[in-house]
Amino acid sequence: MNNYIIKNDDILVIDSNAEYIIEGSGNLTINILKDVNTKIYLKEISANLTINLDDYSNLDLVQINYNENNNSKVINLKEHSNLNFIDLTINKALDDLKINLNGYKAVTNVKYLVINKNIESKFNCLVTHNAKETESSVNNVGIALDASSIWFDTVGKINKGMAKSNAVQLARGILIGQNARVVSQPVLKIDEYDVKANHGTAIGRMSDDELFYLMSRGLNREEAYKLILFGLINPIIDAIWYKDESKKFSDAVINLI
């Protein structure tokens, strides 16, 4: 594992398969060279990042926010490159993400998991398809406790001529508290006929029927509540490659709720 501290206006070149922990604040450009597979964990950063993936490169990117943060990221993908990004947040956040699929058959999968208690967070995600047969998937999960507000603004744009491309947006919100809210604002801007594009949103309170069913099987209300909650968030947490941090995040969620 390579540790890297951000130096303002610095450039990090990744030319071999490796794992990185990146922390600090400032402006950083990361260039991932052709045919390189890398994994990056963004540890409590407050930064403006630009990440460039060359042809046939792959990036597994994880960001976990335990403290208040403000981040901006621009990620550019070339031909046959692939980005998997998981962002986990339990504190106030303002996150701005722009992904440009600039190369043929570039693919990105984005997952946001936000669990807030009595705070407000906002996440902006723009994915632009600038090449043919590109694919994007954005999956937002927000759990608002007490008086929290969570905002997801997700825009998928497929430009004219980018045939056979695919853009998917999904959002799920759970409201736990009278003043809790999760707002999902999905937008699809499609300027090409030969594509697939869809979005779906489901926001509501935890089902009393599900709680009652589990309690009828011997669980108390708190146990049933946590079982339903972790059934929703565990698939995202379990997908994180950095297992020490995934366990730490699970413990932080338990303490929060």
In tens, the pLDDT along 1-29 reads: 899 888 888 899 999 999 999 998 889 99
pTM of the entire structure?
0.93
In tens, the pLDDT along 196-250 reads: 999 999 998 877 777 777 777 778 877 787 788 888 888 888 888 888 888 888 8
The CA distances from residue 9 to 15, 62, 94, in Å, are: 20, 22, 21
Q: How many CA atoms lie within 13 A of 252 on its CB side?
A: 20
